[in-house]
A and B are shown apart, each in its own frame.
Chain A
Amino acid sequence: MNPASSRSWVTLLAVACWVFSLVVVLQDAGLPIIGGDPAPFPADKLCVLFVEESGEPGDRGAVLYSTKIRAYITEQGGDFRKLDQHAVFSDSTPQWVKDAMDLPRDELPWLAASNGKSGVSVTLPAQESEVLAILENLE
């Protein structure tokens, strides 16, 4: 291996280590890795699940019921559900809803989103703009 090729490999390795460290730091900080996580559940389009205890949205009402977020998902040809944490499924419940509901949750309200390639499964952000940023940046 010539010296130039060797330097390239070292540089590549350094960048990879830096990215890995950044991911670990962000995860430790509890922040969503925008567009960086693998899809948390299978999906063939943008699929977004909000989970809450019905009637108890806390201070997240403006996000859970945001018409902007709903319009964005619809414009993308996507699908969403806002469900009670004890939701009961029927035969007509889409598989993505069941898969997303199976994801572990630390607290409520919760957000799980996937487009089949990347996504998030995190505590629902407090701001509408944060949720829109997450959805817009899915790869």
Chain B
Amino acid sequence: MSFISDINPKALDTELFPSEMGRGLERRDWQKDPFASNAFSGGFPSHLLVDKSEWDERIEEMERTKTRLSDLIRQAGLKCKNQARTNYCWINAPVYCLEASRVVSGMPHVELSPASVGAKIKGFRNSGGWGTQGLAYMVEHGCVPAELWPVNAIDRRYDTEEAWTSAKDFKVLEWWDLRPRNFSELMSCLFHRIPVAVGYDWWGHETSALDPLRLKNGGYGTGQMNSWGESYGDRGYFVLNESKSTPDDAVAPRVAVTS
């Protein structure tokens, strides 16, 4: 499994940046896109913050009972995404979180197309962005299933009325915006089994945080899913320590249309 921390920077040169894979995170423009300013988005509610004194016990219970998001996702057979050479990490992560949220809720797995949302937002250019942009679009329009729009196709041929009619079944209804650089809010979401699309300015990349972890070195961290295919880490799953896990832009889709 890939493990990324402050003390093994060599990993940053090798595992973290395979040259054949795209990234694509742009720094969120906080002037144009202020905190918790989008439709159906509030800031993470303070009454749901899990006190740090409870973290160890909760992590132990989730691991013992196999009720972490990664356990549920593996049970449902959901695989990680593969953005290939596109610069669409910023939309792969929110779409993966939506897929994860759906299977955790017992809905049938439908593979969704990150490119359908990313291409519409970026005018069919292979351009970077940030997760909040993608999630805001999915609240209004949904996301097209991959059977109607291939996952990495930045191609106007798939931009059809049929595709967007189908996308309405895959809307996000409610989501939380997490305060920037706030590890406690990230951990609290994961304790509540809500996946979080996390953007890292230091990495220029966005991934999907799934599990709160206690690391062997004594610190905390998160288990995450990348969008670089199954060959990365443990079938796409890797670990970041607290300092690397702490996100800049972070959005948590918590309610989706039921199917």
Contact = CB atoms under 8 A, between A and B. Distances in A.
A90 B171 CA distance: 10
Interface residues of B, number: 28
A66 to B, nearest CB: 6
Contacts of B194: 54-55
A89 interface: yes
Interface string A50-88: 000011110001100111001100000001111110111
Interface string B94-115: 0000000000111100000000
A2 interface: no
B106 A79 contact: yes
B258 interface: yes
A82 B105 contact: yes
B104 A81 contact: no
Given A55-B194, A91-B169, A92-B259, A67 B254 contact: no
Interface residues of A, number: 27
A122 B106 CA distance: 20
Nearest to A92: B259
A67 B105 contact: no
Contact of B192 (A57, A91, A92): A57
B65 A66 contact: yes
Interface in B39-61: 48, 61
B72 interface: yes
A65 B62 CA distance: 10
Nearest to A87: B258
A81 B75 contact: no
Given A55-B48, A67-B66, A93 B259 contact: yes
Contacts of B61: 62
7 contacts: A54-B255, A61-B193, A70-B106, A81-B107, A90-B168, A90-B258, A97-B258
Given A56-B48, A97-B258, 9 more contacts: A54-B255, A55-B192, A61-B192, A65-B104, A70-B106, A79-B106, A83-B105, A90-B259, A128-B65
